[in-house]
Amino acid sequence: MERFVQVILCLCLPWMASGKTWHVRQAGTGHPIQHALDLAAPGDTILVDKGIYTEKGLVIRKPVCLRGIDWPILDGEKQYEILAVSANDVVVEGFHFQYSGVSGWHDIAGVKIYNAHHVTIRSNILDHTFFGIYCLGSSNCTLSGNTIHSDADNDIQSGNGIHCWKCDSMRILDNEITRHRDGIYFEFVTHSLIRGNRSFSNARYGLHFMFSHNNVYERNLFRHNEAGVSVMFSHGVTMLGNTFTENWGGSAYGILMKEITDSKVIGNHFLNNTSGIYMEGTTRILVTENTFSGNGWAMKIQASCSDDVITRNNFNGNTFDIATNGSLVLNTFNANYWDKYEGYDLGRDGIGDVPYHPVSLYSMIAEKNPTVMMLYHSFMVGLLDKSEKVIPSITPEALRDDKPFMKPLRLP
């Protein structure tokens, strides 16, 4: 093995008093990286030179730092999982992972973390892996600055870019994820932060939450995903300062919220989506300081929703502002700006003197019969909507904004 691996023992790193540095240089065949990992002691650093390494199923079993120099390639040869981490306090950075195996039975990944804590996977490239980074039963791990790209054309051909199952206190920061099944997937994940990521052109969702409570996602970009973002069966979720854009399709949304309670949607931008927000079975959701612009429907709120508050948002340039599927109204709409509002402000306090009814008759018709949209700009459609606002008969009269703003709000 010595002819494949040249190990250099250097001075201790200043930030790791007991750690040594091992240097792996590519030479012929064999298992130079795994050999160095096996020889290293806890706290050591393994530096891997540029090259192509085809070692089968690398495993890190002790707390070490594995660092690539000039992006060495770890190639799974379309057969196997590339790197598994089963130790705490591990750092992996600077590698190009490519061509993991694909399996319908096993969740093969470029990098998989097994029941570990305080693992950092940062500044790596993952190209054409089935799952990108997979975290299983782990906590306090950081996945940051990674570029994760696959070639999924549908949600069967690929796993998720970042997949976390039964984890706690995870930090998913500044990653770029494209063309996976779901960009980021959380299931049974708690107290975690998703911030600054760019998730686009994925085969299903840019972000998918299931049974994941007390999490925050902020300042992310979700663009041109097949179905947008889905947050389901969770509570205590904070959605802050994200951008949801260009999620078009018959079942596409900026955000789909289903069976969500006690959560906040604050300061987000919903731009050019089929539906900005779709809410079903939600309770005590605060939707405030958001911008809805250029969407087909700004919001669809089903009659199963209750105690939600929609206030201080800007609705501008949407085909329809609000849609619902029933006459029962258990939510509050108040103090929003609606560009379709035609009321007046005699007191000049910036607030309209008459309520605004954001649900149009035609939006309810179009919801059930999409083909009627070809008549949307006709004179009769405008006449129907105006007559409905004067004498509501089909649209829910209680769904109204009693204090609509006359001008767009200046939002943070």
pLDDT one-digit tens code per residue, 239-273: 999 999 999 887 899 999 999 999 999 999 999 99
Is 60 exceeded by the pLDDT of residue 9? no
- Among 95-104, 177-186, 360-369, which stretch is predicted with the lowest mean pLDDT? 360-369
102 part of a folded domain? yes
Return the pLDDT at 337: 98
- How is the chain split among helix, strand and coil, in percent rounded to 5? 10, 40, 55
CA distance 146 to 128: 14
**Structure confidence at residue 368 as a pLDDT band (50, 70, 90):** low
Task: Provide the residue range defining the domain that includes 265.
Answer: 73-359
Is the same domain home to 286 and 386?
A: no
Q: What is the CATH number of the domain that holds 265?
A: 2.160.20.10
Confirm if 215 and 184 have CB atoms less than 8 A apart. no
Q: What is the DSSP letter of 125?
A: E
- If one counts every other C-beta atom within 10 angstroms of the C-beta of residue 372, the result is 13
Give the pairing of strands 283-288 and 275-280: unpaired
Tell me the per-residue pLDDT of 125-156, one tens digit each, with 9 for 90 and over. Answer: 999 999 999 999 999 999 999 999 998 776 56
108 part of a folded domain? yes
Return the pLDDT at 201: 95
Return the pLDDT at 308: 97
Is the same domain home to 252 and 375?
A: no
66 part of a folded domain? no
- Average pLDDT of the residues in 32-49: 96
215: nearest Cα among 253, 187, 196, 251: 187
Largest separation between any pair of C-alpha atoms in the chain:
88
Return the pLDDT at 365: 57
**Structure confidence at residue 331 as a pLDDT band (50, 70, 90):** very high
302: amino acid identity, one letter:
Q
228 part of a folded domain? yes
- Among 3-7, 54-58, 89-93, 285-289, which stretch is predicted with the lowest mean pLDDT? 3-7
121 part of a folded domain? yes
- Average pLDDT of the residues in 62-78: 96
Is the same domain home to 322 and 372?
A: no
Is 50 exceeded by the pLDDT of residue 7? no
Tell me the per-residue pLDDT of 335-352, one tens digit each, with 9 for 90 and over. Answer: 999 999 989 999 899 999
Return the pLDDT at 336: 98
Return the pLDDT at 129: 95
Confirm if 265 and 287 have CB atoms less than 8 A apart. yes
Instruction: State the Cα angle at 350 between 344 and 351, rounded to 5°.
Output: 60
Return the pLDDT at 83: 98
Is 50 exceeded by the pLDDT of residue 5? no
pTM of the model: 0.89
- Average pLDDT of the residues in 282-294: 98
Is the same domain home to 224 and 262?
A: yes
CA distances from 128 to 55, 72, 96, 146, 179 (A): 17, 16, 11, 14, 9
Is the same domain home to 344 and 381?
A: no
Return the pLDDT at 15: 36
Is 80 exceeded by the pLDDT of residue 322? yes
Is 70 exceeded by the pLDDT of residue 48? yes
Is the same domain home to 210 and 262?
A: yes
CA trace torsion 22, 28, 30, 35 (10° rounding): -10
Tell me the per-residue pLDDT of 188-241, one tens digit each, with 9 for 90 and over. Answer: 999 999 999 999 999 999 999 999 999 999 999 999 999 999 999 999 999 999
Return the pLDDT at 25: 85
Is the same domain home to 264 and 164?
A: yes
Instruction: Return the beta strands (E) in 169-268 as ranges.
Output: 171-173, 176-178, 184-187, 193-195, 198-200, 205-210, 216-218, 221-223, 228-235, 238-240, 243-245, 255-266
Mean pLDDT of the chain: 88
147 part of a folded domain? yes
pLDDT greater at residue 398 or residue 197: 197
Is 60 exceeded by the pLDDT of residue 8? no
Is the same domain home to 371 and 324?
A: no
Instruction: State the Cα angle at 363 between 357 and 368, rounded to 5°.
Output: 140
CA distance 234 to 217: 13
Return the pLDDT at 395: 59
User: H-helix or E-strand containing 116?
Assistant: none
Is the same domain home to 263 and 123?
A: yes
pLDDT greater at residue 16 or residue 11: 16
Is 90 exceeded by the pLDDT of residue 374? no
Confirm if 164 and 191 have CB atoms less than 8 A apart. no
Return the pLDDT at 105: 77
Q: Percentage of residues in the chain with pLDDT exceeding 70?
A: 85
Is the same domain home to 270 and 368?
A: no
- Among 112-116, 221-225, 381-385, which stretch is predicted with the lowest mean pLDDT? 381-385
Return the pLDDT at 12: 35
32 part of a folded domain? no
- If one counts every other C-beta atom within 10 angstroms of the C-beta of residue 194, the result is 27
216: amino acid identity, one letter:
V
- If one counts every other C-beta atom within 10 angstroms of the C-beta of residue 13, the result is 15
- Average pLDDT of the residues in 170-190: 97
Number of domains in the chain: 2
Q: What is the distance between the terminal CA atoms of the chain, rounded to a whole angstrom?
A: 60
16 part of a folded domain? no
Return the pLDDT at 391: 53
Instruction: State the Cα angle at 231 between 228 and 234, rounded to 5°.
Output: 180
Is the same domain home to 220 and 151?
A: yes
Is the same domain home to 287 and 164?
A: yes
Structure tokens at 183: 């960009």
